[in-house]
Chain A
């Protein structure tokens, strides 16, 4: 074949430069695609922070930008968890806020004034571009094929499993944490490969950044020691491993202890003990290796091995004793729920009540990862073929992450990177095999050449086999089709499933036009503008962060569920009779109560549907006063209509939800569209609260807590008097007269 102009570009020194340039262009394009596919919600709605947790992060970032780092570090937040307050500076992972703050100040320094909200909204997409790049680096360490890295980067850029937590506006810790996770793993692999202190220290540095950004750092804390442990068990001890692990552990642990929220956990908590144990083990192994290099005696080696095992055993027993005696904190409840999916439901209802902590349904894997999920096992298999240290890492990661992703929906996020790596390895190997397979020296032909030059034509130019054009064309085109389908799927999922801000709901009118339901913001702005600055708002904890962020009012409980008792108190107030709830509301200085009610619109994520969790959580603290059974009918049904139980019908939550709901309908025609049931003809009467605000579609209802009655009556009597009922004469009372003593 003659040299074409293209060949000149692809061969030799120029070729390397051209490929380098092409790679940069491709990576940039991938990053651009990753960013732009995350902008659906900004384009469709507006530049707005999504969901729940991001609102807190946003509020914390604003505080950081306004008050500086020092006061952020010591921030005591008196507008949440009223009246307990929260030592926010010491109980959050500051990485995300500090990152945005630094970006904000850099932009200001460059005289580019950008609103901090826009930085927060766009931080996640920006980081996803970086993640794609980090993914390229990581995969390149795994494979010699340059296409593997590019494929992995492209996969990471658009796979829905990652997009679900990183669309524009999803300003959550995961936004930067996934980038840090992938990059830390890349640095780790690099360190293990080179055995260099520099790479080990860099790993520790980024590990420290990761610790500051996300609680999921524990995954790294356990995965790296496990990798080392497995390598040791495989007899692959090397000085490279020793250097990189000890460097990482020593520096990384110090770095992680600088975060106030983590503090002394690395030496006091079971979650971190594996890293410490492996650190000890590797010292022993190193010592044994050192000694063995001097004394080759077989007996001695055996003795050494026995000694290593004994010391390790003693250390393990010591660890157990320390844990039992309480010096080292036992595994946290969240950890147990990883092993036993039923654990949380029994012991910690508050964890089980979060939908993202539920076990994953199997279609979710296909939904989030599409073709990657079936390429994934192939990729893992290929790692077994040339089992180097880094491939061991991929295998361990793959096994662990797939288990965790099966246990909790949320952990799909940690599975995604390794799926991308494995799938890229598999796909690139297919492509390399088919695209680059030259019809070069066929051994058969070579053998026959000596025998006779007049071989069969078919053997000289084989039409079948992997090197034929047809097979190449078929395989490559089918791969291309799969990839195109993957892109289509990713775009569709991103656009339809993951781009809703959930603060603003969108629905379709019968004629296909979009109908925006903006009740949340309507209600929050009502609170912001019509209530005193320090009016305490009680609501279920789901809405705590949003009220804090959008309405800027103090709340009783929020999504940082650190105090179960306080949440149970709110649960009790919601699920008890008014007479029981009112003193609770008074004691906690509650001014307004906010409930979410979907009965008019058919919005199923409302408080009546969450109500059983409130009851359960309250029951966990006050088993004598709140009983879940009382809220079910005799036949075990959860009903809100005529057959609702008295406990249900007298609960504050029921009354607040259905207060005046009847007046919207004709007599006896009131229908709850979520539960699909007809409501009792007579609606509930509220006496200790009064309706303050109801949003356009009745999704948010706000009630004001009445003051004590001015004349010393109880509220039901006062309300009856207001309605015009005369009080019954006292003389009709039975029993002996009660004399006043004073």
Chain B
């Protein structure tokens, strides 16, 4: 009763607000309360999408990411700190712990101030690398806003990213131009496969520390598209971490600023507001969230499926088997049927130590909010403990890692064809029965032809 009531309530909320798939408690860590107003449009956008915003100063005593060992918020938005770091309650260890408990983090940096070393070490742990002085900004002499940064060229203009890879969905698409004032750049290390850049700097950009003299320009850390402005990491438990290089791009001032690119560019409005929405929606799991529904596997059978045992624990070698999986995708406010991107495939592996089958799952049906993918195959001629595995890990989509163990047994002694069904065996069977019959005949003949022995003796006496 209670359960259905809460479901009903939940459905109501979903209608009223868009809501993240993983909760709406959002902690905003903001050091200077005065700054809060400059982001007012951003906050109101978030609140309009159903988030409960809690503003805390990093220095606050009662600030804690955890309560009774569970996470106290679902998402954290970290604005760049002024002082040495975020303080003890937001130490790198705590933030990583928060992510290990499925919390999502959006960290915004600013090129205006030096990034604290605590933040830098957190980023290093995730394999994001800042420049060694931690106060560089991206400068580009070809893609800057001619209206606001005529001299310094430090307001970077970028096209909204399209599809980032052939086999992914585009969650940040659009045709607008984004402005990133005083963006702090980062590079991505080579050792963490979970990182994905969202926005890279143009090839003409370079990283520059305005506080040092011009000589340092000769020795840049990274240039061009090695520099990333916005990047994302999705942990194995699908917790999301997004690094945004420029916190100013979220300010009201830049949400509807007019910009003009150098050359013969026209004056246009920025698409920052839309991008901020896309970025927060992705980070706080409103988009790109996959959910696995029912998983079924059973013996292939024509006609009536009611008599088939669902999800048996044991199969026999060479059985025909059908596997199906329901996948749905969360799209801002509801689950919709998931469509695999065009150049990609959802695959099923039938594995024991190594895959014996790796098959593309084909969409075989649709429910209201999920697609059913299925595949039919023959169990290999090898007994053992196999598992059905669906391992679908793509950038920007939450991970699907399903593993269902089944036993594949050998033929039982009564599952082989009987001897008389094998035509090649008829010769032997005939031989066998002829010997048996011959022996019996011999015994009969022997038994009933015995008493002649008396006759010769009587003859002799005669």
Binding site for B on A (CB under 8 A): 73-74, 76, 78, 82-85, 87, 90, 260, 534, 554, 587-588, 707-714, 721-722, 726-727, 729-731, 737-740, 742
Residue contact A729 to B194, C-beta cutoff 8 Å: no
Chain A's nearest CB lies how many Å from the CB of B263?
29
Indicate whether A729 sits within 8 Å of B239 (C-beta atoms), given known contacts A83-B385, A85-B384.
no
Measured in the bound complex, the distance between the Cα atoms of B233 and A76 in whole Å is 44
Residue contact A712 to B410, C-beta cutoff 8 Å: no
Residue contact A731 to B99, C-beta cutoff 8 Å: no
Chain A's nearest CB lies how many Å from the CB of B312?
13
In the complex, what residues of B have CB within 8 A of residue A707's CB? 236
Chain A's nearest CB lies how many Å from the CB of B299?
17
Q: Other than the known A76-B409, A87-B383, A710-B235, what 20 A-B pairs have Cβ atoms closer than 8 Å?
A: A74-B409, A74-B413, A76-B314, A82-B385, A83-B386, A85-B407, A534-B405, A587-B353, A709-B236, A710-B100, A712-B191, A712-B233, A713-B127, A713-B191, A726-B121, A730-B124, A738-B190, A740-B190, A740-B197, A742-B165
In the complex, what residues of A have CB within 8 A of residue B226's CB? 737, 739
In the complex, what residues of A have CB within 8 A of residue B124's CB? 726-727, 729-730
Measured in the bound complex, the distance between the Cα atoms of B193 and A742 in whole Å is 11
**Is B132 an interface residue, CB under 8 A from the partner?**
yes
Indicate whether A708 sits within 8 Å of B236 (C-beta atoms), given known contacts A721-B125, A730-B124.
yes
In the complex, what residues of A have CB within 8 A of residue B189's CB? 730
Residue contact A710 to B99, C-beta cutoff 8 Å: yes
In the complex, what residues of B have CB within 8 A of residue A710's CB? 99-100, 235-237, 239
Residue contact B132 to A711, C-beta cutoff 8 Å: no
Binding site for A on B (CB under 8 A): 93, 96, 99-100, 121, 124-127, 129, 132, 165, 188-197, 221-222, 226, 233, 235-237, 239, 314, 352-353, 383-386, 405, 407-410, 412-414
Residue contact B129 to A76, C-beta cutoff 8 Å: no
Residue contact A588 to B385, C-beta cutoff 8 Å: no
* 28 pairs, A vs B, C-beta closer than 8 Å: A74-B412, A74-B413, A74-B414, A76-B383, A78-B407, A78-B409, A83-B352, A84-B352, A84-B384, A85-B385, A87-B383, A87-B410, A587-B353, A710-B100, A711-B126, A711-B233, A712-B127, A712-B191, A712-B194, A712-B195, A712-B233, A714-B191, A727-B121, A727-B125, A729-B124, A730-B124, A740-B188, A742-B165
Residue of A nearest to B101 (CB): A710
In the complex, what residues of A have CB within 8 A of residue B414's CB? 74
In the complex, what residues of A have CB within 8 A of residue B413's CB? 73-74, 260
Measured in the bound complex, the distance between the Cα atoms of B407 and A386 in whole Å is 62
Residue contact A731 to B221, C-beta cutoff 8 Å: yes
A534, A730, A738 interface centre (most CB from chain B within 10 Å): A730
Chain A's nearest CB lies how many Å from the CB of B404?
12
Measured in the bound complex, the distance between the Cα atoms of B403 and A707 in whole Å is 15
In the complex, what residues of B have CB within 8 A of residue A84's CB? 352, 384-385
Residue contact B125 to A711, C-beta cutoff 8 Å: yes
In the complex, what residues of B have CB within 8 A of residue A588's CB? 353
Residue of A nearest to B188 (CB): A740
Measured in the bound complex, the distance between the Cα atoms of B395 and A712 in whole Å is 14
Residue contact A712 to B192, C-beta cutoff 8 Å: yes
In the complex, what residues of B have CB within 8 A of residue A729's CB? 124, 132
Measured in the bound complex, the distance between the Cα atoms of B95 and A721 in whole Å is 13
In the complex, what residues of B have CB within 8 A of residue A85's CB? 383-385, 407-409
Chain B's nearest CB lies how many Å from the CB of A197?
14
Residue of A nearest to B118 (CB): A726
Measured in the bound complex, the distance between the Cα atoms of B100 and A76 in whole Å is 39
In the complex, what residues of B have CB within 8 A of residue A87's CB? 383, 410
Residue of A nearest to B316 (CB): A76
In the complex, what residues of A have CB within 8 A of residue B386's CB? 83
Chain B's nearest CB lies how many Å from the CB of A555?
12
Measured in the bound complex, the distance between the Cα atoms of B189 and A739 in whole Å is 8
In the complex, what residues of B have CB within 8 A of residue A730's CB? 124, 129, 189
Chain A's nearest CB lies how many Å from the CB of B155?
26
Residue of B nearest to A587 (CB): B353
Residue of A nearest to B238 (CB): A710
Residue contact A713 to B125, C-beta cutoff 8 Å: yes
Residue of A nearest to B189 (CB): A730
Indicate whether A731 sits within 8 Å of B132 (C-beta atoms), given known contacts A85-B384, A711-B125, A721-B125.
yes
Measured in the bound complex, the distance between the Cα atoms of B196 and A259 in whole Å is 61
Chain A's nearest CB lies how many Å from the CB of B327?
23
Chain A's nearest CB lies how many Å from the CB of B235?
5
Measured in the bound complex, the distance between the Cα atoms of B194 and A709 in whole Å is 11
Closest 9 CB pairs between A and B? Answer: A76-B409, A74-B412, A738-B190, A78-B407, A83-B385, A712-B194, A712-B192, A710-B235, A85-B384
In the complex, what residues of B have CB within 8 A of residue A726's CB? 121, 124
Chain B's nearest CB lies how many Å from the CB of A511?
47
Chain B's nearest CB lies how many Å from the CB of A741?
10
Measured in the bound complex, the distance between the Cα atoms of B101 and A66 in whole Å is 43
Residue of A nearest to B395 (CB): A742
Chain A's nearest CB lies how many Å from the CB of B388?
13
In the complex, what residues of B have CB within 8 A of residue A709's CB? 236
In the complex, what residues of A have CB within 8 A of residue B221's CB? 731
A709, A711, A722, A742 interface centre (most CB from chain B within 10 Å): A711
Measured in the bound complex, the distance between the Cα atoms of B226 and A78 in whole Å is 51
Measured in the bound complex, the distance between the Cα atoms of B106 and A188 in whole Å is 86
Which of B192, B384, B385, B412 is within 8 Å of A711, CB to CB? B192
Measured in the bound complex, the distance between the Cα atoms of B405 and A712 in whole Å is 25
In the complex, what residues of A have CB within 8 A of residue B353's CB? 83, 587-588
Measured in the bound complex, the distance between the Cα atoms of B125 and A726 in whole Å is 8
Chain A's nearest CB lies how many Å from the CB of B271?
24
In the complex, what residues of A have CB within 8 A of residue B197's CB? 740, 742
Residue of B nearest to A83 (CB): B385
In the complex, what residues of B have CB within 8 A of residue A721's CB? 93, 96, 125
Residue contact B410 to A711, C-beta cutoff 8 Å: no
Chain B's nearest CB lies how many Å from the CB of A569?
10
Residue contact A711 to B99, C-beta cutoff 8 Å: yes
In the complex, what residues of B have CB within 8 A of residue A713's CB? 125, 127, 191-192
Residue of B nearest to A90 (CB): B410
Which of A90, A534, A731, A739 is within 8 Å of B129, CB to CB? A731
B165, B222, B352 interface centre (most CB from chain A within 10 Å): B352
In the complex, what residues of B have CB within 8 A of residue A742's CB? 165, 196-197
Measured in the bound complex, the distance between the Cα atoms of B226 and A737 in whole Å is 10
In the complex, what residues of B have CB within 8 A of residue A722's CB? 93
Residue contact B383 to A711, C-beta cutoff 8 Å: no
In the complex, what residues of A have CB within 8 A of residue B193's CB? 712
Measured in the bound complex, the distance between the Cα atoms of B221 and A730 in whole Å is 11
